Amino acid sequence: MKNTLLIAAILTAPAMAQVASEDFSTGNTDAWTINNSASPAPWNATGGNPGGMITAAGMGPSGGATNLATDLLLPKAAGQPWSGDFRLAGVTAFQYDREVTAGFSAFGDSTVLVLADSNGTAAFNDDAFIVIPTGDTIQGAAPWTTVNVPIPSASVFIGATFEAGAMPNNPNVGLDNDALWNAIIQSVDYIALANGSPLGGFPVGTHDMNYDNFLLDGTGSMVGTPFCQPMAVNSTGMSTRLFGTLTNPGGSGLHLDVVQGPVAEFGYFLVGTGVSDPGLALSDGFLCLSVTGGNTFGRYNVVGGALNSVGNFNASGEFNNLVGTSSTGLGFDVPNTLPLGGSPMILSGQTWHFQLWHRDTIAGTGHSNFSNGLSYTF
């Protein structure tokens, strides 16, 4: 059994982190269950892809007391790791293997991944859902197939093919799809698998299915210690959010990314020797790099080299690097040299502090704002 807790705090870890995983080699550890049944889905030590697996019989239309259009296979164990702030954890995808042993649907059933807000109860009548099509369709019996479902957790806009909805007793009833996406992706109570949307739609067939090798993946676990968090909101109604990962193949090793920014507005990163929290009020936000007590800060906006981080926010609110100083195209690969007098180098054991400044003319002419700060010890 490979089972790692979802990141609840910012931890240092290598790129391509497994946020959570389960290969069912020793049992149904997280009590994956159909519709909160008192009995977890049966576990088999053999028959998987390979090794152990769980069996979900009769997956199909639900209704009745569940208030759902389709059955959900979800983890029920206390402390199950398939939950939490997926944006903070850098979640990018959920992958699983499935086999269909029996069942039929004349027109084929689309399999989906569900991200849910449980509202703190076991009942479904107060849940809210994001429904993500997997691109996988089942009609009858089918051999083992690997299904990979992208989860764009950094985006502040819901995917074009995604569905969102809240049951009548959920407090988020009435939110538009983008707002519901942002509410759920930052506080997922459970993930679930279904054949067809639990929110309704075309009737589905009933299938007996086996599942194996669940994996919640990320681009890399986040590193560093945030400060001035959350920052004052920008014109999107959210705070501009800075985080770091160790996905920089050169330079200092630290890569910075920013999400939840105002579309098309430009900015650049700052670095400083000290922290000021809550910071110095400037325009709509706060400069949280100290300028007192001998502290200083520099700007990564030096034209023509690695000390330039200028970019703008794309349609998903991600900071897009415009000057070729990011290995991913987003954010900034922090170089070894610092944009300070004398061009000092970052040395092992030193702690440096980072922040992003950006324009926000959507909020008004001449307006600007800042991200939260991030401290990192190299």
Give the separation between CA 255 and CA 375, rounded to whole angstroms: 13
pTM: 0.63
Task: For 246-293, write each residue's pLDDT tens digit.
Answer: 877 778 999 999 988 999 999 999 999 999 999 999 999 999 999 999
Q: Is the pLDDT of residue 15 over 80?
A: no
Rounded distance between C-alpha atoms, residue 186 and residue 183, angstroms:
6
Question: Minimal CA–CA distance to 302: which of 340, 266, 272, 275?
Answer: 340
Q: What is the dihedral of CA 124, 128, 134, 136, to 10 degrees?
A: 30
At residue 220, the pLDDT reads 57
Q: Minimal CA–CA distance to 325: which of 340, 308, 344?
A: 308
For residues 4-31, average pLDDT: 60
165-221 pLDDT, tens per residue? 999 999 999 999 999 999 999 999 999 999 999 998 776 789 999 999 998 887 656
Enumerate the β-bridge partners of residue 257. 243
Please, what sign has the CA dihedral across residues 83, 86, 90, 93?
positive
pLDDT interval class at 5 (50, 70, 90) = very low
| CATH superfamily membership of 18-218 | Galactose-binding lectin (2.60.120.430)
Round the average pLDDT of the chain to a whole number and report it.
89
